[in-house]
């Protein structure tokens, strides 16, 4: 089993739709979790960290379920500008980045 | 504040050639990393550094060397390029090793090895 797995995608949704991505991780000792966004042929950029209690940033909501070992990202009222690849990132280390694992990403296309 | 910069943006090499990918950051970050990104795969860590003078191997270090003589710079050297090293290379930095720290990425270097 891969350490971090994501919905294969691509997700094609109309503007205004709500879309959710899931990401599962295999290491129960994982310390921290992030969602990054990567536009085509660009670098990844942090979208949001994922906290144990769940967190929201505008139209974006991230949830963590430690018992089932998955994190989720919900995008409400999708915009054309949300079209990108969304990377799930899990940090298995306590203090260093040698245990940061990136998922393969899920592609989202928001259609007019 | 330029953030993380990388040069060159594109490079074509022949098998066996060597080259250095440059990475610099002006945010005074202690942690810097090099990743490669291949289609259908997540970013994979090549080498990383937790401060000037300190480097360590990541998941896929073979064929690459790094050094960290200053806080700002973290070059990646390809010793003898192979077609399997065709990829997009990203340099990243972060402030410290806290478990909640996120990373800032450079724009990437697209490398083609013939």
Query: Residue B33 and residue B93: Cα distance in Å, rounded?
Result: 6
Tell me how close the Cα of A94 comes to any Cα of chain B, in angstroms.
6
Coil, strand or helix at B83:
helix
Q: Which residues contact A58 (CB under 8 A, 6 or more apart)?
A: none
Tell me how close the Cα of B58 comes to any Cα of chain A, in angstroms.
6
Flag whether pLDDT at A1 surpasses 70: no
Cα A21 from chain centre: 7
pLDDT tens-place string over residues A101-110? 899 999 999 9
State which residue of chain A sits closest to B59, comparing Cα positions: A98
Best residue in A2, A6, A43 to probe B by mutation, most B CBs within 10 Å?
A43
Residue among B35, B90, B97 whose CB faces A95 most closely: B97
pLDDT tens-place string over residues A49-74? 998 888 999 999 999 999 999 999 99
pLDDT tens-place string over residues A10-60? 999 999 999 999 999 998 888 889 999 999 999 999 999 998 888 999 999
HSE, CB side, 13 Å, CA atoms: give it for residue B32. 32
Torsion on CA atoms A49, B98, A102, B12, rounded to nearest 10: 120
Six-digit token pair at A83? 């079209």
pLDDT tens-place string over residues B71-95? 999 999 999 999 999 999 999 998 8
Query: Residue A52 and residue A68: Cα distance in Å, rounded?
Result: 13
Residues of A with CB under 8 A from a CB of B: 4, 31-32, 34, 42-46, 49, 87, 91, 93-98, 100-105
């Amino acid at each position: 089993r891969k350490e971090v797995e994501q919905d294969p995608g691509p997700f094609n949704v109309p503007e205004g739709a709500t879309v959710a991505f899931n990401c599962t991780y295999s290491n129960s000792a994982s310390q921290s979790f992030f969602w990054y966004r990567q536009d085509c042929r660009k670098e990844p950029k942090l979208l949001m960290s994922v906290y144990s209690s769940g967190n929201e940033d505008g139209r974006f909501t991230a949830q963590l379920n430690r018992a089932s070992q998955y994190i989720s990202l919900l995008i409400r009222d999708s915009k054309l500008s949300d079209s990108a690849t969304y990377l799930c990132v899990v940090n298995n280390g306590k203090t260093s980045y040698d245990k940061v694992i990136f998922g393969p990403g899920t592609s989202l296309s928001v259609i007019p | 504040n330029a953030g993380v910069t990388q040069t060159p943006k594109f490079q074509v090499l022949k098998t066996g050639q060597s080259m250095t990918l440059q990475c610099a950051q002006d945010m005074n970050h202690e942690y810097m990393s090099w990743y490669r990104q291949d289609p259908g795969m997540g970013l994979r860590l090549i080498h990383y550094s937790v401060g000037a003078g300190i480097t360590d191997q990541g998941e896929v270090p073979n064929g690459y060397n790094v050094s960290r003589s200053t806080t700002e710079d973290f070059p990646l050297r390809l010793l003898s390029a192979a077609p399997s090293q065709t990829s997009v290379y990203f340099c990243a930095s972060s402030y410290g090793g806290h478990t909640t720290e996120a990373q800032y990425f450079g724009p990437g270097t697209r490398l083609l090895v013939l």
